[in-house]
């Protein structure tokens, strides 16, 4: 199965989305996997602060606070995933190879892998 990696399990965009089938520090939580339904290329400067907060904001358990993953300030691919009737996005640094890869995966399911980044 295709996989996509995230740095934190507590992204706000995952809340209530039924994002299951997550591998977190070696522990697999089984369930549905999101389907990639669309991608588009844009520049960081074209994204609103509200979208960046939605896409990159996550919760830090200690100390209790919100943080924002540093989205690269360059050309990006925005990936849109669907689980049932819910959607969520993720921004990835654009390269021609990544764009070709993700375009070829539209309509396919992905397993989400969380590889936490220590702060």
Q: What is the pLDDT of residues 43-85, one digit of tens each?
A: 999 999 999 988 888 877 777 877 788 899 999 999 999 988 8
Domain spans of the chain, in order of start = 2-114
Closest CA to 112 of 70, 83, 84: 83
Q: d(Cα 18, Cα 70) in Å, to the nearest integer? A: 25
Tell the residue number behind the tokens 């050309």, with chain if given: 75
For strands 65-68 and 75-83, give the pairing.
unpaired
Whether the model pTM is above 0.75? yes
The confidence score (pLDDT) of residue 25 equals 54
Closest CA to 42 of 2, 83, 1, 79: 79
């Amino acid at each position: 199965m295709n996989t996509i990696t995230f740095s934190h399990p507590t992204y706000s965009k995952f809340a209530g989305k039924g994002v299951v089938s997550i591998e977190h520090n070696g522990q697999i939580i089984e369930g549905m996997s999101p389907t990639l339904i669309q991608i588009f290329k844009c520049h960081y400067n074209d994204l609103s602060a509200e979208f960046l907060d939605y896409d990159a904001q996550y919760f830090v358990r200690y100390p209790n606070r919100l943080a924002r993953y540093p989205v690269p300030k360059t050309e990006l691919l925005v990936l849109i995933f669907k689980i049932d009737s819910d959607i969520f996005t993720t921004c990835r640094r654009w390269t021609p190879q990544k764009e070709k890869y993700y375009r070829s995966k539209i309509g396919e399911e992905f397993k989400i892998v969380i590889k936490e980044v220590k702060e």
